[in-house]
C-alpha cells in the first residue's frame, strides 16, 4: 500500500474518532438545569402557564425551578430539575429509604425510576454520565404527576 493511501486512511480514522469523541455541539450544558427546558416546554408539560426557569441559587445552576404564573387551585405549583452525576443516580437507585417506593421506568434515558414518598414523586434519570431528577409539585393524583415528569424528562434527555 502506498504511503499516500496509508496516510489518507490514518487521517480518516483520526477524523472519525475525534468527531465521535467530541461533545455534540447541539448538546445543552450539563451544569445549567435552566438551559434544558424552556418555560414553554414546562407549561406544555404541566398544562398551566409557568414563569421561566430560575436557578435555586445565583452561584449554582444545577437546580432550576419553574413556578406557576398565578396561583391555580388543584394545580401545579412548582417544577424542579436537579442535575447530578451518574454515580449519584447509582447510589440513589441502590438506597432503600423508609417509606419510599421506587418504580422502574422504561423508554427514558439509559435507566430511570420514580422515587415516591406519599403523594410526591420525582423521576430520576441517567443518560451517559449525567443524571437528573425532575419533580412536579401539584395537587393532582400521583399518576398525573408521574406522567408530567416523564413528558418533561423525555425533553431533557433529547438535549443531553
pLDDT digits (tens, 9 = 90+) for 90-138: 888 887 778 888 899 999 999 999 998 888 899 999 999 999 999 999 8
Task: Please list, in sequence order, all residues whose beta carbon lies within 8 angstroms of the beta carbon of residue 92, skipping any fewer than 6 positions away.
Answer: 115, 124
In whole angstroms, give the CA distance from residue 9 to residue 19: 15
What pLDDT sits at residue 94? 81
Report DSSP state, residue 68: B
- The DSSP bridge partners found for residue 64 are 55, 81
Taking Cα atoms as reference points, which of 110, 90, 92 lies closest to residue 102? Answer: 92
pLDDT in tens, 29-74: 568 999 999 999 999 999 989 999 999 888 889 999 999 988 766 6
Task: Report all structural domains of the chain as residue ranges with CATH numbers, in order of start.
Answer: 27-157 (3.40.1000)
Give pTM, 2 decimals.
0.78
Amino acid at each position: 500500500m502506498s504511503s499516500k493511501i496509508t496516510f489518507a486512511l490514518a487521517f480518516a480514522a483520526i477524523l472519525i474518532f475525534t468527531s465521535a469523541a467530541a461533545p455534540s455541539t447541539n448538546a445543552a450544558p450539563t451544569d445549567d438545569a435552566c438551559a434544558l427546558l424552556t418555560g414553554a416546554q414546562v407549561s406544555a408539560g404541566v398544562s398551566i402557564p409557568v414563569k421561566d426557569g430560575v436557578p435555586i441559587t445565583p452561584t449554582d445552576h444545577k437546580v432550576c425551578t419553574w413556578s406557576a404564573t398565578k396561583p391555580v387551585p388543584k394545580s401545579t405549583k412548582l417544577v424542579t430539575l436537579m442535575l447530578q452525576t451518574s454515580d449519584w443516580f447509582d447510589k440513589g437507585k441502590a438506597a432503600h429509604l423508609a417509606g419510599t417506593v421506587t418504580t422502574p421506568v422504561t423508554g427514558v434515558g439509559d435507566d430511570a425510576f420514580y422515587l415516591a414518598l406519599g403523594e410526591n414523586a420525582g423521576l430520576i434519570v441517567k443518560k451517559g454520565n449525567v443524571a437528573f431528577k425532575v419533580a412536579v409539585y401539584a395537587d393532582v393524583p400521583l399518576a398525573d404527576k408521574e406522567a408530567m415528569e416523564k413528558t418533561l424528562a423525555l425533553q431533557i434527555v433529547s438535549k443531553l
